A and B are shown apart, each in its own frame.
Chain A
Protein backbone atom coordinates (compact mmCIF):
# COMPACT_ATOMS: atom_id res chain seq x y z
CA UNK A 1 0.00 0.00 0.00
CA UNK A 2 1.27 3.41 -0.93
CA UNK A 3 2.06 5.40 2.18
CA UNK A 4 0.21 8.42 0.95
CA UNK A 5 -3.00 6.57 0.15
CA UNK A 6 -5.33 6.26 3.07
CA UNK A 7 -8.13 4.70 1.04
CA UNK A 8 -7.44 2.24 -1.75
CA UNK A 9 -10.30 0.59 -3.54
CA UNK A 10 -9.95 -1.90 -6.37
CA UNK A 11 -12.86 -3.34 -8.30
CA UNK A 12 -15.26 -2.98 -5.39
CA UNK A 13 -18.65 -4.47 -6.30
CA UNK A 14 -21.92 -4.94 -4.46
CA UNK A 15 -24.76 -6.98 -5.88
CA UNK A 16 -28.24 -7.41 -4.45
CA UNK A 17 -29.51 -10.44 -6.35
CA UNK A 18 -29.43 -9.51 -10.03
CA UNK A 19 -29.06 -5.84 -9.32
CA UNK A 20 -25.56 -4.40 -9.25
CA UNK A 21 -25.61 -1.39 -6.97
CA UNK A 22 -21.88 -0.74 -7.12
CA UNK A 23 -20.10 -1.91 -10.24
CA UNK A 24 -16.37 -2.52 -9.85
CA UNK A 25 -15.27 0.92 -8.66
CA UNK A 26 -11.59 1.70 -8.13
CA UNK A 27 -10.01 4.82 -6.67
CA UNK A 28 -7.47 6.09 -4.15
CA UNK A 29 -7.72 8.86 -1.59
CA UNK A 30 -4.57 10.56 -0.30
CA UNK A 31 -3.95 11.40 3.31
CA UNK A 32 -5.23 14.87 4.20
CA UNK A 33 -7.36 15.15 1.10
CA UNK A 34 -10.95 16.38 0.91
CA UNK A 35 -12.45 13.80 -1.39
CA UNK A 36 -15.88 14.48 -2.83
CA UNK A 37 -17.97 11.42 -3.61
CA UNK A 38 -20.69 12.64 -5.92
CA UNK A 39 -23.65 11.09 -7.62
CA UNK A 40 -27.37 11.37 -8.04
CA UNK A 41 -29.69 9.68 -5.59
CA UNK A 42 -29.65 5.96 -6.28
CA UNK A 43 -26.30 6.03 -8.06
CA UNK A 44 -24.81 3.72 -5.42
CA UNK A 45 -23.05 6.26 -3.21
CA UNK A 46 -24.57 5.06 0.04
CA UNK A 47 -23.92 1.41 -0.78
CA UNK A 48 -20.30 2.21 -1.59
CA UNK A 49 -19.77 4.20 1.59
CA UNK A 50 -21.36 1.43 3.64
CA UNK A 51 -18.81 -1.02 2.32
CA UNK A 52 -15.99 1.39 3.19
CA UNK A 53 -17.12 1.85 6.79
CA UNK A 54 -17.73 -1.84 7.42
CA UNK A 55 -21.53 -1.85 7.49
CA UNK A 56 -21.83 -3.92 4.34
CA UNK A 57 -19.65 -6.65 2.87
CA UNK A 58 -18.47 -6.31 -0.70
CA UNK A 59 -19.58 -8.97 -3.18
CA UNK A 60 -16.32 -8.66 -5.09
CA UNK A 61 -13.18 -6.56 -5.10
CA UNK A 62 -10.79 -5.28 -2.48
CA UNK A 63 -10.60 -2.21 -0.37
CA UNK A 64 -8.30 -0.80 2.27
CA UNK A 65 -9.17 1.99 4.63
CA UNK A 66 -6.57 3.42 7.03
CA UNK A 67 -4.38 0.45 6.12
CA UNK A 68 -6.90 -2.23 6.98
CA UNK A 69 -8.85 -4.55 4.72
CA UNK A 70 -12.50 -3.50 4.75
CA UNK A 71 -13.73 -7.07 4.56
CA UNK A 72 -11.33 -8.97 6.78
CA UNK A 73 -10.36 -6.27 9.23
CA UNK A 74 -13.62 -4.34 9.50
CA UNK A 75 -13.20 -3.99 13.26
CA UNK A 76 -9.84 -2.25 12.83
CA UNK A 77 -11.30 -0.03 10.14
CA UNK A 78 -14.11 1.00 12.46
CA UNK A 79 -11.66 2.08 15.15
CA UNK A 80 -9.87 4.40 12.78
CA UNK A 81 -12.71 6.17 11.10
CA UNK A 82 -15.31 8.71 12.07
CA UNK A 83 -18.75 8.80 10.53
CA UNK A 84 -21.46 11.38 10.36
CA UNK A 85 -24.72 11.06 8.47
CA UNK A 86 -27.30 13.47 7.23
CA UNK A 87 -29.38 12.89 10.34
CA UNK A 88 -26.63 14.32 12.62
CA UNK A 89 -27.34 11.40 14.94
CA UNK A 90 -27.25 13.12 18.28
CA UNK A 91 -29.47 12.14 21.17
CA UNK A 92 -31.99 14.94 21.36
CA UNK A 93 -32.83 14.47 25.00
CA UNK A 94 -29.21 14.43 26.12
CA UNK A 95 -27.12 17.55 26.54
CA UNK A 96 -24.09 18.24 24.32
CA UNK A 97 -21.88 17.23 27.24
CA UNK A 98 -23.68 13.92 27.70
CA UNK A 99 -23.60 13.23 23.98
CA UNK A 100 -19.84 13.76 23.85
CA UNK A 101 -19.32 11.61 26.94
CA UNK A 102 -21.47 8.81 25.62
CA UNK A 103 -19.75 8.61 22.26
CA UNK A 104 -16.39 8.94 24.00
CA UNK A 105 -17.42 5.94 26.08
CA UNK A 106 -18.50 4.01 23.02
CA UNK A 107 -15.03 4.44 21.53
CA UNK A 108 -13.50 3.31 24.79
CA UNK A 109 -11.71 6.55 25.69
CA UNK A 110 -10.38 6.84 29.21
CA UNK A 111 -12.22 8.98 31.70
CA UNK A 112 -9.59 11.71 31.61
CA UNK A 113 -9.46 11.68 27.85
CA UNK A 114 -13.26 12.05 27.70
CA UNK A 115 -13.10 15.03 30.05
CA UNK A 116 -10.37 16.60 27.95
CA UNK A 117 -12.22 16.05 24.69
CA UNK A 118 -15.50 17.34 26.15
CA UNK A 119 -13.81 20.54 27.26
CA UNK A 120 -12.04 21.00 23.93
CA UNK A 121 -15.09 20.37 21.77
CA UNK A 122 -17.36 22.62 23.81
CA UNK A 123 -14.75 25.37 23.72
CA UNK A 124 -14.03 25.01 20.04
CA UNK A 125 -17.70 25.16 19.10
CA UNK A 126 -18.43 27.80 21.75
CA UNK A 127 -21.12 25.56 23.20
CA UNK A 128 -20.12 26.06 26.86
CA UNK A 129 -23.25 28.05 27.62
CA UNK A 130 -25.63 25.40 26.36
CA UNK A 131 -23.49 22.46 27.47
CA UNK A 132 -26.14 21.38 29.95
CA UNK A 133 -29.23 21.98 27.87
CA UNK A 134 -30.81 19.22 25.78
CA UNK A 135 -29.56 19.14 22.21
CA UNK A 136 -33.10 19.45 20.90
CA UNK A 137 -33.04 23.18 21.69
CA UNK A 138 -29.91 23.87 19.61
CA UNK A 139 -30.11 25.54 16.16
CA UNK A 140 -29.56 23.17 13.26
CA UNK A 141 -26.15 24.56 12.36
CA UNK A 142 -24.85 23.99 15.87
CA UNK A 143 -26.21 20.48 15.98
CA UNK A 144 -24.46 19.78 12.71
CA UNK A 145 -21.09 21.02 13.93
CA UNK A 146 -21.52 19.19 17.23
CA UNK A 147 -22.27 15.98 15.36
CA UNK A 148 -19.17 16.55 13.23
CA UNK A 149 -17.01 17.15 16.30
CA UNK A 150 -18.43 14.05 17.98
CA UNK A 151 -17.67 11.92 14.92
CA UNK A 152 -14.02 12.81 15.61
CA UNK A 153 -14.12 12.30 19.36
CA UNK A 154 -11.67 9.40 19.06
CA UNK A 155 -9.24 11.20 16.72
CA UNK A 156 -9.79 9.11 13.59
CA UNK A 157 -7.55 9.38 10.54
CA UNK A 158 -10.50 9.64 8.18
CA UNK A 159 -13.93 11.09 8.57
CA UNK A 160 -16.76 9.88 6.37
CA UNK A 161 -19.49 12.46 5.91
CA UNK A 162 -22.65 11.16 4.27
CA UNK A 163 -24.59 14.14 2.90
CA UNK A 164 -23.67 16.22 5.92
CA UNK A 165 -25.33 19.36 4.60
CA UNK A 166 -28.65 17.88 3.51
CA UNK A 167 -31.56 20.09 4.40
CA UNK A 168 -29.40 22.90 5.77
CA UNK A 169 -29.62 26.48 4.47
CA UNK A 170 -26.77 27.87 2.27
CA UNK A 171 -25.22 30.07 4.91
CA UNK A 172 -24.97 27.24 7.42
CA UNK A 173 -23.56 25.03 4.65
CA UNK A 174 -20.80 27.57 4.01
CA UNK A 175 -19.93 27.71 7.68
CA UNK A 176 -19.81 23.97 7.81
CA UNK A 177 -17.40 23.78 4.91
CA UNK A 178 -15.10 26.18 6.74
CA UNK A 179 -15.11 23.72 9.61
CA UNK A 180 -14.30 20.91 7.19
CA UNK A 181 -11.30 22.89 5.88
CA UNK A 182 -10.00 23.43 9.40
CA UNK A 183 -10.19 19.72 10.11
CA UNK A 184 -8.47 18.86 6.82
CA UNK A 185 -5.67 21.30 7.63
CA UNK A 186 -4.95 19.30 10.78
CA UNK A 187 -4.10 16.40 8.47
CA UNK A 188 -7.34 14.46 8.66
CA UNK A 189 -8.77 12.97 5.51
CA UNK A 190 -12.33 13.91 4.63
CA UNK A 191 -14.48 11.63 2.52
CA UNK A 192 -17.69 13.48 1.78
CA UNK A 193 -20.76 12.63 -0.26
CA UNK A 194 -23.10 15.33 -1.42
CA UNK A 195 -25.52 16.08 -4.17
CA UNK A 196 -24.97 19.84 -3.99
CA UNK A 197 -22.72 20.44 -6.97
CA UNK A 198 -21.52 23.81 -5.70
CA UNK A 199 -20.01 21.96 -2.74
CA UNK A 200 -18.01 19.84 -5.15
CA UNK A 201 -15.97 22.94 -5.92
CA UNK A 202 -14.69 22.95 -2.34
CA UNK A 203 -13.20 19.47 -2.64
CA UNK A 204 -9.61 18.70 -3.58
CA UNK A 205 -10.77 15.92 -5.88
CA UNK A 206 -14.15 14.56 -6.77
CA UNK A 207 -15.47 11.34 -8.20
CA UNK A 208 -18.81 11.22 -9.93
CA UNK A 209 -20.84 8.04 -9.77
CA UNK A 210 -23.46 7.21 -12.34
CA UNK A 211 -25.51 4.02 -12.07
CA UNK A 212 -22.99 2.16 -9.95
CA UNK A 213 -19.84 3.19 -11.86
CA UNK A 214 -17.36 5.99 -11.31
CA UNK A 215 -17.58 7.96 -14.54
CA UNK A 216 -15.16 10.73 -13.69
CA UNK A 217 -12.48 11.34 -11.09
CA UNK A 218 -10.23 14.40 -10.91
CA UNK A 219 -9.86 17.86 -9.43
CA UNK A 220 -12.85 20.15 -10.00
CA UNK A 221 -10.74 22.37 -12.32
CA UNK A 222 -9.60 19.52 -14.53
CA UNK A 223 -13.08 18.09 -14.74
CA UNK A 224 -14.51 21.40 -15.85
CA UNK A 225 -11.77 21.61 -18.46
CA UNK A 226 -12.33 18.09 -19.73
CA UNK A 227 -16.04 18.47 -20.04
CA UNK A 228 -15.81 22.02 -21.28
CA UNK A 229 -18.07 23.31 -18.52
CA UNK A 230 -18.18 26.42 -16.34
CA UNK A 231 -19.50 24.82 -13.20
CA UNK A 232 -19.49 21.38 -11.63
CA UNK A 233 -23.22 21.35 -12.14
CA UNK A 234 -22.70 21.34 -15.90
CA UNK A 235 -20.05 18.64 -15.62
CA UNK A 236 -22.49 16.53 -13.73
CA UNK A 237 -25.34 17.09 -16.16
CA UNK A 238 -23.14 16.12 -19.09
CA UNK A 239 -22.04 12.94 -17.41
CA UNK A 240 -25.53 11.91 -16.49
CA UNK A 241 -26.89 12.59 -19.97
CA UNK A 242 -24.32 10.73 -22.02
Chain B
Protein backbone atom coordinates (compact mmCIF):
# COMPACT_ATOMS: atom_id res chain seq x y z
CA UNK B 1 0.00 0.00 0.00
CA UNK B 2 2.81 2.37 0.87
CA UNK B 3 4.35 1.87 -2.56
CA UNK B 4 1.11 2.89 -4.23
CA UNK B 5 0.91 5.88 -1.96
CA UNK B 6 4.42 6.92 -2.91
CA UNK B 7 3.65 6.60 -6.62
CA UNK B 8 0.69 8.89 -6.00
CA UNK B 9 2.62 11.54 -4.13
CA UNK B 10 5.34 11.48 -6.78
CA UNK B 11 2.80 11.99 -9.53
CA UNK B 12 1.20 14.83 -7.62
CA UNK B 13 4.54 16.57 -7.26
CA UNK B 14 5.04 16.29 -11.03
CA UNK B 15 1.71 18.07 -11.49
CA UNK B 16 2.62 20.80 -9.06
CA UNK B 17 6.11 21.39 -10.38
CA UNK B 18 5.00 21.49 -13.99
CA UNK B 19 2.10 23.83 -13.56
CA UNK B 20 3.18 27.45 -13.47
CA UNK B 21 -0.14 28.60 -12.07
CA UNK B 22 0.04 26.24 -9.11
CA UNK B 23 3.64 27.16 -8.47
CA UNK B 24 2.74 30.81 -8.51
CA UNK B 25 -0.06 30.31 -6.02
CA UNK B 26 2.18 28.16 -3.88
CA UNK B 27 5.21 30.37 -3.63
CA UNK B 28 4.29 33.74 -5.11
CA UNK B 29 1.11 34.25 -3.14
CA UNK B 30 2.51 33.94 0.40
CA UNK B 31 5.37 36.30 -0.43
CA UNK B 32 3.15 38.80 -2.19
CA UNK B 33 0.54 38.71 0.54
CA UNK B 34 2.87 39.20 3.42
CA UNK B 35 4.72 42.00 1.64
CA UNK B 36 1.51 43.73 0.61
CA UNK B 37 0.03 43.47 4.06
CA UNK B 38 3.36 44.42 5.56
CA UNK B 39 4.21 47.46 3.54
CA UNK B 40 1.11 48.64 1.78
CA UNK B 41 -1.86 47.86 3.97
CA UNK B 42 -1.06 49.50 7.24
CA UNK B 43 -2.99 51.52 9.76
CA UNK B 44 0.03 53.45 10.84
CA UNK B 45 0.72 56.84 9.37
CA UNK B 46 4.00 58.21 8.36
CA UNK B 47 4.28 61.82 7.24
CA UNK B 48 0.58 62.58 6.92
CA UNK B 49 0.27 66.08 5.46
CA UNK B 50 -1.41 68.60 7.76
CA UNK B 51 -2.21 72.28 7.60
CA UNK B 52 -2.00 74.56 10.62
CA UNK B 53 -4.08 77.66 11.17
CA UNK B 54 -2.09 79.49 13.77
CA UNK B 55 -3.94 82.49 15.27
CA UNK B 56 -1.43 82.80 18.05
CA UNK B 57 1.85 82.95 16.14
CA UNK B 58 3.77 83.02 19.36
CA UNK B 59 6.70 81.05 20.66
CA UNK B 60 4.65 78.28 22.25
CA UNK B 61 2.46 77.71 19.22
CA UNK B 62 5.56 77.31 17.04
CA UNK B 63 6.94 74.86 19.55
CA UNK B 64 3.69 72.91 19.40
CA UNK B 65 3.83 72.74 15.62
CA UNK B 66 7.40 71.47 15.81
CA UNK B 67 6.35 68.96 18.41
CA UNK B 68 3.57 67.66 16.19
CA UNK B 69 6.07 67.02 13.43
CA UNK B 70 8.64 65.46 15.71
CA UNK B 71 6.64 62.20 15.96
CA UNK B 72 7.20 61.40 12.30
CA UNK B 73 3.47 60.95 11.87
CA UNK B 74 2.85 64.43 10.55
CA UNK B 75 4.41 66.73 8.09
CA UNK B 76 3.48 70.38 7.82
CA UNK B 77 1.94 71.12 4.46
CA UNK B 78 0.96 74.76 4.82
CA UNK B 79 0.53 77.43 7.44
CA UNK B 80 -2.87 79.02 6.89
CA UNK B 81 -3.90 82.58 7.64
CA UNK B 82 -7.66 82.49 7.65
CA UNK B 83 -10.57 80.13 8.15
CA UNK B 84 -11.51 80.41 4.49
CA UNK B 85 -8.37 78.57 3.51
CA UNK B 86 -9.12 75.57 5.65
CA UNK B 87 -10.97 73.46 3.14
CA UNK B 88 -8.74 74.14 0.16
CA UNK B 89 -6.01 71.73 1.23
CA UNK B 90 -8.46 68.90 1.90
CA UNK B 91 -10.32 69.46 -1.34
CA UNK B 92 -7.11 69.29 -3.30
CA UNK B 93 -6.12 66.22 -1.32
CA UNK B 94 -2.93 67.93 -0.14
CA UNK B 95 -3.71 67.74 3.52
CA UNK B 96 -5.63 65.35 5.73
CA UNK B 97 -6.18 67.55 8.70
CA UNK B 98 -6.12 71.16 9.93
CA UNK B 99 -4.99 72.05 13.43
CA UNK B 100 -6.33 75.40 14.66
CA UNK B 101 -4.37 77.07 17.44
CA UNK B 102 -6.28 79.89 19.19
CA UNK B 103 -5.04 83.41 19.92
CA UNK B 104 -3.01 84.11 23.03
CA UNK B 105 -1.94 80.49 23.12
CA UNK B 106 1.31 81.08 24.97
CA UNK B 107 -0.22 83.31 27.61
CA UNK B 108 -3.18 81.06 28.33
CA UNK B 109 -1.02 77.99 28.29
CA UNK B 110 1.34 79.16 30.99
CA UNK B 111 -1.44 80.79 32.95
CA UNK B 112 -3.12 77.42 33.15
CA UNK B 113 -6.33 78.61 31.54
CA UNK B 114 -8.42 76.18 29.54
CA UNK B 115 -7.44 76.11 25.86
CA UNK B 116 -9.30 74.62 22.96
CA UNK B 117 -7.30 73.37 20.03
CA UNK B 118 -9.52 72.57 17.11
CA UNK B 119 -8.79 69.62 14.86
CA UNK B 120 -10.60 69.52 11.53
CA UNK B 121 -10.08 66.24 9.72
CA UNK B 122 -11.04 64.97 6.29
CA UNK B 123 -13.86 62.59 7.15
CA UNK B 124 -14.22 61.17 3.67
CA UNK B 125 -11.79 58.54 4.89
CA UNK B 126 -13.20 57.89 8.35
CA UNK B 127 -10.60 55.42 9.58
CA UNK B 128 -7.74 57.69 8.66
CA UNK B 129 -9.44 60.73 10.13
CA UNK B 130 -10.02 58.90 13.38
CA UNK B 131 -6.47 57.66 13.69
CA UNK B 132 -4.99 61.03 12.80
CA UNK B 133 -7.22 62.79 15.32
CA UNK B 134 -6.00 60.39 17.99
CA UNK B 135 -2.40 61.07 17.04
CA UNK B 136 -2.93 64.82 17.42
CA UNK B 137 -4.54 64.33 20.83
CA UNK B 138 -1.65 62.20 21.95
CA UNK B 139 0.92 64.68 20.74
CA UNK B 140 -0.84 67.63 22.33
CA UNK B 141 -1.04 65.74 25.62
CA UNK B 142 2.62 64.91 25.57
CA UNK B 143 3.40 68.52 24.70
CA UNK B 144 1.45 69.64 27.72
CA UNK B 145 3.20 67.17 30.00
CA UNK B 146 6.63 68.27 28.84
CA UNK B 147 6.09 72.01 29.09
CA UNK B 148 4.07 72.13 32.26
CA UNK B 149 5.95 69.57 34.27
CA UNK B 150 6.82 72.36 36.64
CA UNK B 151 3.23 73.41 37.14
CA UNK B 152 1.41 70.47 38.69
CA UNK B 153 -2.28 70.51 38.07
CA UNK B 154 -4.20 68.75 40.80
CA UNK B 155 -7.48 68.71 38.84
CA UNK B 156 -6.31 66.73 35.86
CA UNK B 157 -6.99 63.07 35.37
CA UNK B 158 -4.14 61.52 33.54
CA UNK B 159 -4.81 58.41 31.55
CA UNK B 160 -1.74 56.43 30.99
CA UNK B 161 -2.31 53.56 28.61
CA UNK B 162 0.09 50.81 27.84
CA UNK B 163 -0.41 48.31 25.02
CA UNK B 164 0.36 44.85 26.27
CA UNK B 165 1.83 42.31 23.83
CA UNK B 166 2.19 44.95 21.13
CA UNK B 167 3.64 48.12 22.66
CA UNK B 168 4.08 49.94 19.35
CA UNK B 169 0.68 48.83 18.04
CA UNK B 170 2.44 47.43 14.99
CA UNK B 171 -0.05 46.13 12.48
CA UNK B 172 2.31 43.29 11.59
CA UNK B 173 1.24 41.65 14.85
CA UNK B 174 -2.22 41.33 13.38
CA UNK B 175 -1.55 40.57 9.75
CA UNK B 176 1.06 37.86 10.19
CA UNK B 177 -1.38 35.50 11.98
CA UNK B 178 -4.11 36.53 9.55
CA UNK B 179 -1.93 35.89 6.55
CA UNK B 180 -0.94 32.47 7.81
CA UNK B 181 -4.60 31.59 8.21
CA UNK B 182 -5.39 32.79 4.70
CA UNK B 183 -2.43 31.18 3.01
CA UNK B 184 -2.98 27.81 4.61
CA UNK B 185 -6.59 27.97 3.51
CA UNK B 186 -5.77 28.98 -0.06
CA UNK B 187 -3.12 26.37 -0.53
CA UNK B 188 -4.77 23.51 1.28
CA UNK B 189 -8.40 24.03 0.48
CA UNK B 190 -8.35 25.75 -2.88
CA UNK B 191 -5.50 23.83 -4.46
CA UNK B 192 -6.80 20.53 -3.13
CA UNK B 193 -10.27 21.13 -4.48
CA UNK B 194 -8.75 22.23 -7.78
CA UNK B 195 -6.52 19.21 -8.16
CA UNK B 196 -9.32 16.76 -7.40
CA UNK B 197 -11.70 18.59 -9.73
CA UNK B 198 -9.01 18.42 -12.39
CA UNK B 199 -8.89 14.63 -12.15
CA UNK B 200 -12.64 14.57 -12.60
CA UNK B 201 -12.42 16.84 -15.63
CA UNK B 202 -9.71 14.71 -17.18
CA UNK B 203 -11.61 11.51 -16.48
CA UNK B 204 -8.66 10.10 -14.58
CA UNK B 205 -10.68 10.05 -11.37
CA UNK B 206 -12.97 7.48 -12.96
CA UNK B 207 -10.01 5.31 -13.86
CA UNK B 208 -8.67 5.58 -10.34
CA UNK B 209 -12.04 4.59 -8.91
CA UNK B 210 -12.17 1.57 -11.22
CA UNK B 211 -8.72 0.53 -10.00
CA UNK B 212 -8.50 -1.56 -6.83
CA UNK B 213 -7.29 1.45 -4.81
CA UNK B 214 -9.41 2.27 -1.75
CA UNK B 215 -10.98 5.74 -2.22
CA UNK B 216 -9.42 6.92 1.02
CA UNK B 217 -5.96 6.24 -0.37
CA UNK B 218 -6.76 8.25 -3.50
CA UNK B 219 -7.76 11.24 -1.42
CA UNK B 220 -4.81 10.88 0.95
CA UNK B 221 -2.43 10.59 -1.96
CA UNK B 222 -3.82 13.75 -3.43
CA UNK B 223 -3.84 15.88 -0.30
CA UNK B 224 -0.55 14.85 1.30
CA UNK B 225 1.72 16.87 -1.03
CA UNK B 226 -0.39 19.95 -0.44
CA UNK B 227 -0.29 19.41 3.30
CA UNK B 228 3.50 19.26 3.19
CA UNK B 229 3.78 22.33 0.98
CA UNK B 230 1.36 24.45 2.94
CA UNK B 231 3.03 23.54 6.17
CA UNK B 232 6.33 24.68 4.67
CA UNK B 233 4.59 27.86 3.65
CA UNK B 234 3.28 28.50 7.13
CA UNK B 235 6.81 28.25 8.44
CA UNK B 236 8.02 30.58 5.67
CA UNK B 237 5.43 33.20 6.63
CA UNK B 238 6.33 32.84 10.31
CA UNK B 239 9.99 33.39 9.50
CA UNK B 240 9.23 36.38 7.28
CA UNK B 241 7.01 37.86 9.96
CA UNK B 242 9.62 37.30 12.60
CA UNK B 243 12.71 38.52 10.79
CA UNK B 244 11.31 41.15 8.43
CA UNK B 245 8.46 42.56 10.47
CA UNK B 246 9.77 41.79 13.96
CA UNK B 247 6.70 39.87 15.09
CA UNK B 248 7.69 37.98 18.23
CA UNK B 249 6.92 34.34 18.89
CA UNK B 250 6.47 34.36 22.62
CA UNK B 251 4.79 31.01 23.13
CA UNK B 252 5.88 27.46 22.42
CA UNK B 253 6.92 26.87 18.83
CA UNK B 254 5.95 23.22 19.06
CA UNK B 255 2.43 24.19 20.10
CA UNK B 256 2.31 26.76 17.32
CA UNK B 257 3.30 24.23 14.66
CA UNK B 258 0.89 21.69 16.11
CA UNK B 259 -1.92 24.22 15.75
CA UNK B 260 -0.86 24.96 12.18
CA UNK B 261 -1.05 21.25 11.50
CA UNK B 262 -4.57 21.03 12.93
CA UNK B 263 -5.66 23.92 10.73
CA UNK B 264 -4.01 22.34 7.69
CA UNK B 265 -6.12 19.24 8.28
CA UNK B 266 -9.27 21.38 8.60
CA UNK B 267 -8.45 23.15 5.34
CA UNK B 268 -7.70 19.89 3.52
CA UNK B 269 -11.00 18.42 4.59
CA UNK B 270 -12.77 21.58 3.41
CA UNK B 271 -10.98 21.39 0.08
CA UNK B 272 -11.97 17.76 -0.36
CA UNK B 273 -15.54 18.60 0.57
CA UNK B 274 -15.63 21.33 -2.07
CA UNK B 275 -14.23 18.95 -4.64
CA UNK B 276 -16.94 16.38 -3.97
CA UNK B 277 -19.60 18.88 -4.99
CA UNK B 278 -17.79 20.52 -7.91
CA UNK B 279 -17.44 18.94 -11.30
CA UNK B 280 -14.98 21.31 -12.90
CA UNK B 281 -11.94 23.26 -11.81
CA UNK B 282 -13.74 26.52 -12.42
CA UNK B 283 -16.57 25.40 -10.23
CA UNK B 284 -14.15 24.42 -7.49
CA UNK B 285 -12.33 27.74 -7.81
CA UNK B 286 -15.52 29.79 -7.45
CA UNK B 287 -16.68 27.78 -4.48
CA UNK B 288 -13.35 28.13 -2.71
CA UNK B 289 -13.13 31.84 -3.38
CA UNK B 290 -16.68 32.67 -2.37
CA UNK B 291 -17.19 30.06 0.29
CA UNK B 292 -13.79 30.09 1.97
CA UNK B 293 -11.60 33.00 1.02
CA UNK B 294 -14.11 35.80 1.36
CA UNK B 295 -15.51 34.82 4.75
CA UNK B 296 -12.04 34.03 6.07
CA UNK B 297 -10.81 37.44 5.06
CA UNK B 298 -13.80 39.53 6.05
CA UNK B 299 -15.62 37.65 8.78
CA UNK B 300 -12.75 36.16 10.73
CA UNK B 301 -11.82 39.34 12.54
CA UNK B 302 -8.63 39.51 10.51
CA UNK B 303 -9.38 42.85 8.86
CA UNK B 304 -12.55 44.07 10.55
CA UNK B 305 -13.22 43.40 14.22
CA UNK B 306 -16.02 40.87 14.65
CA UNK B 307 -17.56 42.66 17.63
CA UNK B 308 -18.43 45.74 15.58
CA UNK B 309 -20.43 43.74 13.02
CA UNK B 310 -24.18 43.17 12.92
CA UNK B 311 -25.18 40.21 15.07
CA UNK B 312 -25.99 38.01 12.07
CA UNK B 313 -22.53 38.50 10.59
CA UNK B 314 -21.01 37.81 13.98
CA UNK B 315 -22.74 34.45 14.04
CA UNK B 316 -21.54 33.65 10.55
CA UNK B 317 -18.07 34.74 11.56
CA UNK B 318 -18.20 32.20 14.35
CA UNK B 319 -18.69 29.47 11.76
CA UNK B 320 -15.50 30.40 9.96
CA UNK B 321 -12.60 28.17 11.04
CA UNK B 322 -10.10 30.99 10.42
CA UNK B 323 -11.71 32.98 13.24
CA UNK B 324 -10.56 30.41 15.76
CA UNK B 325 -7.24 29.76 14.14
CA UNK B 326 -6.28 33.46 14.13
CA UNK B 327 -7.31 33.62 17.78
CA UNK B 328 -5.09 30.63 18.56
CA UNK B 329 -2.16 32.08 16.63
CA UNK B 330 -2.38 35.42 18.40
CA UNK B 331 -2.68 33.73 21.77
CA UNK B 332 0.33 31.51 21.27
CA UNK B 333 2.53 33.86 19.24
CA UNK B 334 1.91 37.17 20.97
CA UNK B 335 0.52 36.41 24.39
CA UNK B 336 2.59 33.31 24.82
CA UNK B 337 -0.14 31.25 26.46
CA UNK B 338 -0.09 27.51 26.87
CA UNK B 339 -2.45 24.86 25.62
CA UNK B 340 -4.93 25.23 28.49
CA UNK B 341 -5.80 28.79 27.43
CA UNK B 342 -6.79 27.85 23.89
CA UNK B 343 -8.76 24.71 24.72
CA UNK B 344 -12.03 26.24 23.54
CA UNK B 345 -10.73 27.32 20.15
CA UNK B 346 -8.92 24.05 19.58
CA UNK B 347 -12.07 22.16 20.56
CA UNK B 348 -14.20 24.12 18.10
CA UNK B 349 -11.69 23.58 15.29
CA UNK B 350 -11.55 19.86 16.06
CA UNK B 351 -15.32 19.51 16.07
CA UNK B 352 -15.61 21.49 12.83
CA UNK B 353 -13.01 19.28 11.20
CA UNK B 354 -14.80 16.13 12.30
CA UNK B 355 -18.16 17.40 11.05
CA UNK B 356 -16.71 18.40 7.69
CA UNK B 357 -14.97 15.05 7.48
CA UNK B 358 -18.23 13.24 8.11
CA UNK B 359 -20.05 15.24 5.43
CA UNK B 360 -17.20 14.68 2.97
CA UNK B 361 -17.20 10.97 3.64
CA UNK B 362 -20.97 10.75 3.08
CA UNK B 363 -20.84 12.82 -0.10
CA UNK B 364 -17.99 10.74 -1.40
CA UNK B 365 -19.89 7.51 -0.80
CA UNK B 366 -23.09 8.80 -2.35
CA UNK B 367 -21.18 9.70 -5.46
CA UNK B 368 -19.79 6.22 -5.70
CA UNK B 369 -23.22 4.64 -5.59
Contact = CB atoms under 8 A, between A and B. Distances in A.
Interface in B228-266: none
A76 B3 CA distance: 20
The listed residue with most A CB atoms (<10 A of its CB), out of B6, B18, B212, B368, is B212
Given A85-B203, A93-B19, A98-B11, A107 B212 contact: yes
Nearest to B367: A55
Classify the secondary structure of B's interface with A: helix
Nearest to B19: A93
The listed residue with most B CB atoms (<10 A of its CB), out of A81, A87, A151, is A87
Contact of A54 (B4, B14, B210): B210
B20 to A, nearest CB: 11
A105 B7 contact: yes
A188 to B, nearest CB: 16
B211 A105 contact: no
B206 A94 contact: no
Contacts of A107: 211-212
B16 to A, nearest CB: 10
B15 interface: yes
A70 interface: no
Contacts of A103: 207, 211
A88 to B, nearest CB: 7
B368 to A, nearest CB: 7
A11 to B, nearest CB: 20
What range describes how many residues of B lie at the interface?
20 to 34
A92 B202 CA distance: 9
Contacts of B7: 101-102, 105-106
A26 interface: no
Contact of B210 (A81, A91, A108): A81
A14 to B, nearest CB: 10
A89 B18 contact: no
A98 B15 CA distance: 11
A57 to B, nearest CB: 6
Contacts of A98: 11, 14
Interface string A36-60: 0000000000000000011111000
A115 to B, nearest CB: 14
A62 interface: no
Interface in B258-277: none
A94 B11 contact: yes
B160 interface: no
Given A87-B202, A106-B4, A94 B14 contact: yes
A89 B204 contact: yes
Contacts of B19: 93
A170 B15 CA distance: 33
Given A102-B11, A106-B213, A89 B207 contact: yes
The listed residue with most A CB atoms (<10 A of its CB), out of B14, B202, B207, B368, is B207
Contacts of B202: 87, 89-92
A143 B192 CA distance: 27
22 contacts: A53-B210, A54-B210, A57-B369, A83-B207, A85-B203, A85-B206, A86-B203, A87-B202, A87-B206, A89-B207, A90-B202, A92-B202, A93-B18, A94-B11, A101-B7, A102-B10, A103-B211, A105-B4, A105-B7, A106-B8, A108-B212, A151-B207
Interface of A: 53-57, 75, 78-79, 81, 83-94, 98, 101-103, 105-108, 134, 151
